[in-house]
Structure 1
Amino acid sequence: MSNKHTILSALKQSALDQHAMPAMDVVANNDDLVGQFNASLNTVAGTLHSEGGLAALQQAVDELIQQNMQVISLLDGIKGNRQVPETAHDLADIDYAVIPGDLGVAENGAIWVNQPSHRVTPFICENLILALAKDNIVANMHQAVKQVALQPGELGLFIAGPSKTADIEQALVVGAHGACSLNVYLY
């Protein structure tokens, strides 16, 4: 028997018995989910736009285009000035990416994004814009994880604010590893 098999056999024999996960009954605060979501989003350096819906989003995108910004939109009905490229390498100069959000979480400002096209899009753009239906906000992560699902090969993730780190000299740096800003438009 090889060393690898000897070690794995020993680990298997010393493994603890399986125990059922404890029941977690968390009472959700469903009062003013949009207000809770806004407060949480602010704490993670995101900005909520709750008035005007998709028309306000398209107006904001049009203003960005007038400022010569490169805007890509993966959201049906919102038109940027760049097409979705064949390869992710062609996203390197994108200033703003508009992506649909599937589910918002009021307790922490996180938004579930099921990203079917280029996986790098929310991370490589300078600024991220997410569009989220008002009815798709839940109170907490306990409710959220019950509603999200992925098909094999899909990427899904919770995005909570722009990229940030605080490990350099105890100073918060926004945009260190990805998008420098996050704007969320409710519709």
Structure 2
Amino acid sequence: MSSKNSILSALSQSALTAHPMPNIEVEVTPQPLVETFAASLATVAGELHQHGGLAALQAKVDELIAQKLQVLSLVEGVNGNRQVPNTAHELADIDYAILAGELGVAENGAIWVSQTQHRVTPFICENLILALPEKALVANMHQAVNQVSLAQGALGVFVAGPSKTADIEQALVVGAHGACSLQVYLY
């Protein structure tokens, strides 16, 4: 028996028995979800637009297009000036990407986004705008993880503000590894 097989055999014999995941119940304290979400989002350098819904978002997109910026919208009812390209490489010059948020978490300002086309979209754009139904707000991550699911091979992420890092000379840098800004439009 080779060393590799010997090690793998020993590991398989010492494996622990499977145990079910614990059921963790966290009591949700009553809180105004929109206000808490707005405060949490501001803490992570995001900006919340509470009024006007998708019409306000379309007005913002129209302003951006008038400024000759490249806007890709993957939200039904909001029209940008770019179509979904054939390859992710063609997203390199996108100024604003508009995606649908599926779930918002009030305690930390995170928004669940599942991506079906070009997984890199929320990360490669200069600025990210998420459209989020107000009824999709939950109080905490315990509630959120019970509501999200993914098919095998699918991508889903919690986005909490624009890209940030503070490991460069101990100074906070926004947009170092992804979007430079995050705006969330509730509808």
Q: Give the aligned partner of residue 165 of structure 2.
A: 165
Q: Give the aligned partner of residue 95 of structure 1.
A: 95
Partners of 2:117 and 2:23 in 1: CA distance: 37
Determine if the alignment matches structure 1 residue 149 to structure 2 residue 149.
yes
User: Residues 58-69 of structure 1: matches in 2 within 5 Å?
Assistant: 58-69=58-69
Counterpart of 1:151 in structure 2: which amino acid?
A
Q: Give the aligned partner of residue 178 of structure 2.
A: 178
**Alpha-carbon offset, residue 74 of structure 1:** 0.3
Q: Please list the CA deviations of residues 41-72 of structure 1 after superposition, one character each: whole Å capped at 9, or x if unmatched.
A: 11111000001100100000111111111000
Would you identify which runs of 4 or more consecutive aligned residues in structure 1 move more than 4 Å? none
Partners of 1:19 and 1:150 in 2: CA distance: 23
What's the TM-score, normalizing by structure 2?
0.96
Counterpart of 1:166 in structure 2: which amino acid?
A
**Alpha-carbon offset, residue 79 of structure 1:** 0.5
Q: What is the root-mean-square deviation in Å for CA atoms of aligned residues?
A: 1.2
User: Residues 59-138 of structure 1: matches in 2 within 5 Å?
Assistant: 59-138=59-138
Structure 2: 5+ residue stretches without partners: none
Counterpart of 1:54 in structure 2: which amino acid?
L
Counterpart of 2:94 in structure 1: which amino acid?
I
Q: Give the aligned partner of residue 34 of structure 1.
A: 34
Structure 1: 5+ residue stretches without partners: none
Aligned length: 187
What's the TM-score, normalizing by structure 1?
0.96
Q: Give the aligned partner of residue 139 of structure 1.
A: 139
Give percent identity, aligned residues only.
71
Partners of 2:14 and 2:118 in 1: CA distance: 43
Q: Please list the CA deviations of residues 87-137 of structure 1 after superposition, one character each: whole Å capped at 9, or x if unmatched.
A: 111110000000000000111111000111111110110000000000000
Q: Please list the CA deviations of residues 122-154 of structure 1 after superposition, one character each: whole Å capped at 9, or x if unmatched.
A: 011000000000000011111111111111232
